[in-house]
Structure 1
Amino acid sequence: MILAVWLILLILGGMGAVSLADRLSAGSGPPPGAGSVQADALLEDGFQGRSAVTIAMVVRDQDHDMSEPAFDSRVRGAITAVLGDPRLGATTSYGWDTASPEQRLPFVGKDGRTVLTSIGIGIDDAAATTTLPSLQKELDDRFRPQGLEVSLVNIQAFQGELTEESAAALAKAEIIALPAIVVVLLLLFRSVTATMVALTTTMTGVVLTLGVLDIVAQFVQLNIFAQNIVVMLGLGVGVDYALVMLKRFTQELSAGNPVGVAVERTVATAGHTVIASALTIVVAVAALFVVPLDTVTSLALGATLAVAMAMLVALLLLPALLHLIGTRIDAGRVWLPAALRHDQVRPETSRWYRITERVMNRPVWWLTAVVSILVALAIPVLGMRLFTPDARILPATSTVGAGVDTVARQFGPGAASPIVVVLEARTDRPDAATIGDLTSLADDLRALPDVAAVNSAVPFLRAVSPSDPSAALDPAVSARVPPDIGAGLRHYAADDNRTFVVEVIPAQPSSDDKTMQLLDRVRARAAQVPSLDEVVGGETARGDDSNAEVARALPLVFALMLVAVYLVLLVTFRSVFLPLKAIATNVLSAGATFGVLVMIFQYGWAPDWLGLDHAGALFFIGPLVVLALIVGLSTDYEVFLLSRVREEYLRTGDNREAVARGMAWTAPMITGAAVLMIVVFGAFGFAGIMPIQQLGIGLAVAVAIDATLVRVIIVPAAMQLMKRWNWWNPLDREPVPAQESARHRDSSDRPGATTVG
């Protein structure tokens, strides 16, 4: 019955998973109250060639230049096609097509055959992200055979193409990850049947999660990265939980228990560990919901659903499969060399027991050495920089990327992504003083470093009324101006005659350090205008507002994670100090991981043959998501290990022996789980686009650090130094229970007696 229900759900989930990609966006905008969002709202109506979503349209004629009569008609044909496309709901344009022949030079590139036109469209951010990629392909198919290169360039076009690149990278990562998972599972289980069961349950969890996400996406706007995190984390955690459950099941069978009893004991013991693990990760990731960014909440939702579904599959579907398969779980045995086999032995003869004993013999030395290494790895974090990805992260084959490159070559690196200062006069009818303030602002901004140009309504106001520029705003006067001057005036002054735009064209790309510094200077100067209220928008401001939101939320998110983890471990182990030790190791592990990420992606120290993108900074939401998952996964392994250590301690009262035996029982399973996680995360790290590269590599590094330096050295050394204080709890009648669970004395040495799978 259970299998039939799961089969029906799997079919429904698969149908949803197929349609999910069409419901997701790549938007990563700031929260509604940010200045850049307010600026977009002010641009929505009243301007020519502008709207809340504005496109920079680039047309390059490969066969003609501006001196030839055919050039104008060919370029106008492409512009007319875009303006008339009903999917865009284009309102107006400003550029080559609105300027008189003698006024066109500002809109012509250096080669004399490339023109730039600004188009305001009538769809919102999310719709533009979905529409622009398909329209761009149609424009390529239509005009490229005619010798015209037509590109639609803006942040939404970039994000739309990022969605498609993300889907392609996801498929590539799956192709890499699945065979690698099969190899690792065969090494761990030495059984084809067990491997297939683990893969079946894992893929079931991923498909069902994508199906649920498809339902959610019909009501809530979700980012494309939600799909990536579901597949990446769903594969990693799903295989992890299958490993825990299957290992325990085979141990119970080897102890002579019937299949029914083995399944019951597996659910009661390893199932309990899976629940604790899933709860820990979900609690840690849930802290991300306090960040008011769609991208972050989408990632948090995807991660939460992936882990919760992996847990449900492990607790409901997997036991049903185990009942059905029974003792045939070891069918299809795979021969392995003795060096690769790990046969269950008594803990005292295990190499992990010997390693732990060696560490606990010199705990201060080992602890100092490893902590020093982790602190050294964390030092680069002090110089960590965040950035919002732009078109430079797209592959060379990207049409949007090619359009951005064309704009940069012909008009300058910042021409397609100006800093937009939107100003509202404090009076209904701006006077000469207001226009004087506008003029002073434009002049001062032009004098700032790293400014290529400043555009405003001032030249057009002066062209209409040289003696009194404010008089040009009189409707009776502005109605009589020539069309090209009127178009320029309304591109920088709205129909209400009290809302103005000053465009600052940076000399560098939108996310460059110098452009970010310029943004701060522009904001500071614009805030000093006495007669005008200002907000600053544009692609650079949009990214900076998102970065600022992440920076503000990071301390709160970190605090919530640590408090949640402390409480989970306090309840699980009834110890005051063990959770504090876990938090300290989480901080060390996270610091070292971020340090490695800075060295790879910011400093560019990774070898070129690895194919990792050197962005000069970290993806702005990367630290938040990686931190949440590091805390969750690290505490996950803490639960695996300390559950067994606590059982041994309650049985013997000997802290040192309990740690050594606990390590001996759990280290093979933790190591196997870590290898699987590293394989999955690494596959996404090397196959994904830059943001997913950083998430995948970051998680792979974090798991490697936690499963080796932290779990093998720091934990035993610290527990040896803390001795009986490891288990102190003021609420217990006896601070150090040493004889509880004496009933386990005769059975806990059996392979089937562990409590962690």
Structure 2
Amino acid sequence: METREHVSGIAARAAIWSARHRWLAILGWLAFVVLVTVLSGHFGTTVAKDGDFGNGDSGRADRIVEQAGFPPRQAGEMVIVQSKTSTIDSPDVRAAIADVTAAVQGTGVTGQVGEPLRSADGHSALLTFTVQGDAETAKDRVGPVLDAVAGVQGRHPQLYIAEGGDASSDKLIGDDLDAGLNRLSMLSIPVTLGILLIAFGAVVAALLPVALAVTAVVAAIGLLAFASRLAPAVDTTMHVMLLVGLAVGVDYCLFYIRRERDERHNGADPRRALAIAAQTSGRSVWISGLTVIVAMAGMFLTRDTTFVSFAIGTILVVATAVLGSLTVLPALLSALGDRVNLGKIPGLYRTRAESRAWSAFLRLVLRRPLISALVAVAALGVIASPALHLRTKAEGIEDLSPSAPITKAFLAIQRAFPGGADPARVVVRAPHVTGADWDAALVTFKRDALATGQLHEPITVEVNPAGTVAVISVGLSGTGGDQASERALATLRGTVLPATLERLPGAQVGVTGSTAGSKDFNDKLARSMPLVFSFVLGLAFLLLLVSFRSIVVAITGVVLNLLSVAAAYGMLVFVFQDGHFEKALDFRAADGITNWMPLFLFVILFGLSMDYHVFVVSRIREGHDRGLPTRRAVTEGITRTAGVITSAAAVMVAVFALFATLPLASTKQLGVGLAAAVLLDATIVRAVLLPAVMALLGERNWWLPRWLGWLPRVSHDLPATTGAQRPLVTAGH
């Protein structure tokens, strides 16, 4: 007699429907992916423009410039000619300067080369010019200029001659970054597949999670084109979507497939094994996905273009991965049946997820739960302790590989001409920025600026055709992203401008540039971070409370995830701010962590950590609801999920670690921070701290006050069977 499992919940019902209509679900998923990809190619993605990024005073200054009717901005370039022994007045240096001028202008793609600027010590000359045409595409035309300057260097080997600027940095950084991203894309999927082959020991089972994750990412990127009509997308959003989509897509499939295989090993027929996986792992996927989406939604509260784009992209890719896991994955498992284990690899194929090593380790933890918990907290505290002196900074030249030619050129210019490589831009809007009053104010500004010792030449002035807006470029001490540059900016804004240009009748004065933009971004972020943290923590707590009907489980989940985030912050500071592993990772320690990194890591890690927490605690609660004592339920739940968690963490760590090979410090920080946090979360937090704490709390884990008894009940029981019904699965087994 055929039986039918009684299941409850959105996830289980969706899975059962898909299993019954498997070919419709499979073809529907493929049609969905193809359709959104084709339509997105037709409509295109709206990309954020420079004017979309401004904050505070620098944002207002950028908008003034944008509306002032200046001619299209051209990319500025600089060439430094430097001698260790001679001054720029010596014949060999003068000959090299003339050679640079002729070579650059001979390319036919630049404007006039300005008169050489002399450094304070007289050993360096700086030549400035622009690349003709639109600044946005100048990187495509600057190649002949770079070749010409390299030729001059070859003819004057006794001197140091190098080029840096907007176009050359865009080209060289872009080329390196594109090469790195292509390498990452080529490696991430084979690395993931290799880990899954070890985890499943079967080719077909390993291919399914990769196929679902890749199609989910493709579909989500297609959906981003439509979402960008509401909020423009930034360039890096698609890379973040690949990172998150591959991680969660593989995780969700891994949880689902492993549970189905476990039930088959325990003697369940194919139909019941799939129903149990749908009722248990499917529900965990649904709750985990919702929690990750809530965490990502916290970025909307920053109202920053970059974070809003990240939020939209990550929400789309997680929602798409959840949709695929709950629809097409059950359909594929139903169609394949036991053929999901085709391609068994000798020595690796196992039908059961339990690990003797994990079981032995867990017995050790639960034998002394208090000591285990204290040791785990102490270890996490040590790892997190460097975060106490975490500082943030804007991305600057120091974030490039120290071995890159562009980095060496910029640093040489910065040392010889402080602030020249990354000047502040003072924007003045007034009825007139011409005439005697303006000239007098400008002279006073230059005098007072240079007198501070923090503001430097070259000081240049550009006026719009209407004569109502002027942009004054002035060098700042420091590298542009360090504390010296921030002090110089504060002096400019707080002392020099109020005493000079701000006294002009009817004048609006603002300061922009990378240092000013970073300062204003940090100030805005500092105001929004408490709101983001409160939003994410509060909603995550509520989701766990509703899912497990326990205040203790909800509090434990939030606290454990915060420990993982704190450990990631500590690792970032230890490596990138304190300067460990510089040679291995090819970076130079800076004065702080990239300013958007702490908030982004918080929401990403909090969301991803919930994957593990929900999956493990669901299995523990399942045992408890069957009548097992809490300690026994903890033992069973963790030993049966440890292998899956290990495999999922290995995939995440491997994919995230690949980002540490990219040329920018921010991508290295992203890779190291995420990889370290996931590794710590899957080992110290989930394998030691979680079981130890739950064992210590015992039945108190499931405490819920009477006044919260109205909360909906989410069943953690296995589906029951009833009488004759239409078969759930009829083929493939």
TM range (shorter): 0.7 to 0.9
Q: 1:395, 1:322 → 2: CA distance?
A: 46
1:590 is matched with which residue?
Answer: 565
2:16 is matched with which residue?
Answer: none
Map of 1:708-747 to 2, 5 A cutoff? 708-731=683-706
- Partner letter of residue 457 of structure 2? A
Contact 1:554 1:624 in 2 (8 A): yes
Change in Cα spacing, 1:542 to 1:279, as seen in structure 2 (3 Å) is same
Map of 1:125-524 to 2, 5 A cutoff? 128-129=135-136, 131-137=137-143, 139-140=145-146, 153-154=165-166, 158=169, 162-217=173-228, 220-336=231-347, 343=352, 351-395=357-401, 401=407, 404=410, 407-408=413-414, 412-424=417-429, 438-453=442-457, 455=459, 491=461, 499-524=469-494
Map of 1:57-96 to 2, 5 A cutoff? 57-58=77-78, 75-76=104-105, 78=107, 81-82=109-110, 96=113
2:495 is matched with which residue?
Answer: 525
1:2 is matched with which residue?
Answer: 25
Q: 1:42, 1:736 → 2: CA distance?
A: 53
Deviation at 1:441, TM superposition (A): 3.9
* Structure 2 residue matching 1:81: 3-state secondary structure: coil
Q: How many aligned positions are there?
A: 676
Q: 2:100, 2:176 → 1: CA distance?
A: 34
Contact 2:81 2:96 in 1 (8 A): no
Q: 1:67, 1:179 → 2: CA distance?
A: 50
Q: 1:398, 1:261 → 2: CA distance?
A: 59
* Structure 1 residue matching 2:555: 3-state secondary structure: helix
Deviation at 1:65, TM superposition (A): 5.1
1:600 is matched with which residue?
Answer: 575
Change in Cα spacing, 1:543 to 1:585, as seen in structure 2 (3 Å) is same
Q: 1:413, 1:176 → 2: CA distance?
A: 41
Deviation at 1:635, TM superposition (A): 1.8
Change in Cα spacing, 1:401 to 1:312, as seen in structure 2 (3 Å) is same
Q: 2:168, 2:96 → 1: CA distance?
A: 31
Deviation at 1:624, TM superposition (A): 1.2
Q: Deviations over 1:106-143 (max 9, x none)?
A: 3899788862136897x6xxxx44x2322324655789
Contact 1:64 1:71 in 2 (8 A): no
Deviation at 1:401, TM superposition (A): 5.0
- Partner letter of residue 376 of structure 2? V
Contact 1:24 1:224 in 2 (8 A): no
1:538 is matched with which residue?
Answer: 513
Deviation at 1:24, TM superposition (A): 7.9
TM-score, normalisation: structure 2: 0.81
* Superposition RMSD in Å: 4.1
1:750 is matched with which residue?
Answer: none
* Structure 1 residue matching 2:142: 3-state secondary structure: helix
Change in Cα spacing, 1:650 to 1:598, as seen in structure 2 (3 Å) is same
Q: 1:717, 1:384 → 2: CA distance?
A: 30
Q: 1:516, 1:120 → 2: CA distance?
A: 32
2:20 is matched with which residue?
Answer: none
- Partner letter of residue 377 of structure 1? I
- Partner letter of residue 547 of structure 2? T
Q: 2:643, 2:132 → 1: CA distance?
A: 60
Change in Cα spacing, 1:363 to 1:12, as seen in structure 2 (3 Å) is same
1:115 is matched with which residue?
Answer: 127
TM-score, normalisation: structure 1: 0.78
Q: Deviations over 1:593-623 (max 9, x none)?
A: 1001111111111262344564442121111
Deviation at 1:355, TM superposition (A): 3.6
Deviation at 1:577, TM superposition (A): 2.1
Deviation at 1:14, TM superposition (A): 5.9
Deviation at 1:437, TM superposition (A): 5.4
Deviation at 1:440, TM superposition (A): 4.2
Contact 1:388 1:619 in 2 (8 A): yes
- Partner letter of residue 116 of structure 1? T
Contact 1:43 1:51 in 2 (8 A): no
Contact 2:248 2:608 in 1 (8 A): no
Change in Cα spacing, 1:8 to 1:72, as seen in structure 2 (3 Å) is same
* Structure 2 residue matching 1:528: 3-state secondary structure: helix
Change in Cα spacing, 1:683 to 1:498, as seen in structure 2 (3 Å) is closer
Contact 1:445 1:525 in 2 (8 A): no
Of residues 427-436 and 353-362 in structure 1, the stretch that sits farther from structure 2 once superposed is 427-436
Contact 2:261 2:352 in 1 (8 A): no
Change in Cα spacing, 1:334 to 1:71, as seen in structure 2 (3 Å) is closer
Deviation at 1:280, TM superposition (A): 0.9
Does 2:624 align with 1:618?
no
- Partner letter of residue 420 of structure 1? R
Deviation at 1:30, TM superposition (A): 7.5
Deviation at 1:742, TM superposition (A): 9.1
Q: Deviations over 1:256-287 (max 9, x none)?
A: 44444433433332211111111111111110
Deviation at 1:565, TM superposition (A): 0.5
Any gaps of 5 or more consecutive residues in structure 1? 84-94, 98-103, 457-490, 747-757
- Partner letter of residue 415 of structure 1? G
Deviation at 1:547, TM superposition (A): 2.5
Contact 1:418 1:538 in 2 (8 A): yes
Change in Cα spacing, 1:542 to 1:199, as seen in structure 2 (3 Å) is same
Q: 2:170, 2:144 → 1: CA distance?
A: 18
